[in-house]
Structure 1
Amino acid sequence: MGDRVPGEAGGAAETLSELPAAPRPFAVHEAVRADGEADLVRPARSLFWSALAAGLAIGFSFFVPGLLHARLPDAGWRPLLAALGYPVGFVLVILGRQQLFTQNTLTVILPLLERPDARTLRGVVRVWTIVLAGNLLGAVLVGWVAAATSLFTDDVRASLAEMSAPVAALSVGDALLRGVFAGWLIALLVWLLPVAESSRVTTIFLATYVVALGSFPQIVTAVVAATYAAVVGHAPPASLAGGVLLPVLVGNILGGVVLVASLNHAQASDSG
């Protein structure tokens, strides 16, 4: 019975040899790389509008936890339930096929690792620049609207201010290290999507919920929170940009490129 998997009552039992085989690393690699190849030749305007849409939509990963936080009692488990709202923005962005910068630390890097030439490198820099610009513009806009208007009630605004404080308080070292873990998890999520099939929402939820629980800052959601903190007067914009957001960005890049793209490219190359 060593290779037998329990079946449903009254149903035929399955053995491991009868179960559908998981895709080999090379197959996953090629599926993700194909997305990256498409992005490398995608028109700049199309990339930008998609990135802007993602920057706006990712604001829900800041707003929904704030809405939950404001409506939950002040108890030790409050952050655990409030964090359940964090995946919402990522579900909207990823299922909507919008351009999010941390996804591109994997997708367009795989073609570069396959063809390490100047032309591909220029393509990666082009995609990164356009997508990051669109993401940050959207994040700043949506963060400003939340802070400078009466969009939310006072209790929700207080919760959003409380939830933006940890981002503003990060040291350079903490922002960099935690940014690595966020970049690692988000890029790993992208790697898993080709095999997730009907469980994509669950996969997105699990990965991004861990990001929220660990307070691992993803650059675009961090910009939404930092913009909110700056507008309500909790932190000066200059110190946020240089002391928090830049290390977060570098950490996200390192986590995605080194811990996901490079390692999975190596294993796929060896197994292909």
Structure 2
Amino acid sequence: MILTTKSQFQSLIFTGTNGEYIAHYSHWSLRSVFQPIFGHNNILVGLEALVRIEDVHGESIRPDLFFSSTDISIKDKVNIDKLSRVIHIRNFAISEYKNLKLFLNILPSVSEYFALSDINTCLLSNRLKELQIDRSQIVMEIVELNANNEYLFVEAIKRLSQAGYCIAIDDFGACASTIERVKSIQPDIIKLDRGLLLEHFSGESNRLLEGIKMARALGAQIIVEGIETKEHLQAMETLDLDMFQGFYLATPQPILSCISNAV
């Protein structure tokens, strides 16, 4: 059963000892961490929400391996993905950063559900209204996995954009985050994959520069991911990009504890 109702979600969400929201679903526990995204002059402009998944033994499971695993059903992947966003939004709303942008990862296979629903009356939109978070603050970050149904996927993203959400392509240059996907959904933001940055530093700058050129032609803002050293940051700043993200700037942390220290 795919989670769809408010009561279904509420039955799976709990408050941790530190006051943050967590979730328990089937064999897994879910927690939120957030990685800051900076603009020019180290100004904090947004946070990317990331899920931390643990099994019944308390062992961590990498989200990319979880969502790409063929041993986990589509139903469970969809429910984990949706439930993750619920706790991310709740944790964001109780923080001092709720006036910034919130980047939410979304599976292409999950986004297809938005093509079949009324976005203006769905649980996500209603919950944002209750928490006094504007849709324009929410950046739907499409991860680099393939869609099950390309037509429904593109239709869903168009509807989300028309409803006032920002759309981002995650990890451009990796897997399914291709030029073709960018052209089909016309995102507001393109996040350049860390691999392009590393290629640039090894002397192969073509893909990075082509990605920047394409983003500029579309009028999309650019975030470069994978800033891990001072040299990375300085080199990317010379390219006049819009936003920067990486461990050199700040690591993913629970929203109530360490983000302010990183900033």
TM above 0.5: no
Larger RCO: 1 or 2 (CA < 8 Å, sep 6+): 1
Q: Which has a greater percent of strand?
A: 2
Structure with greater proportional helix content: 1
Q: What TM-score, normalized by structure 1, do the two folds share?
A: 0.27
- Larger CA Rg, structure 1 vs 2: 1
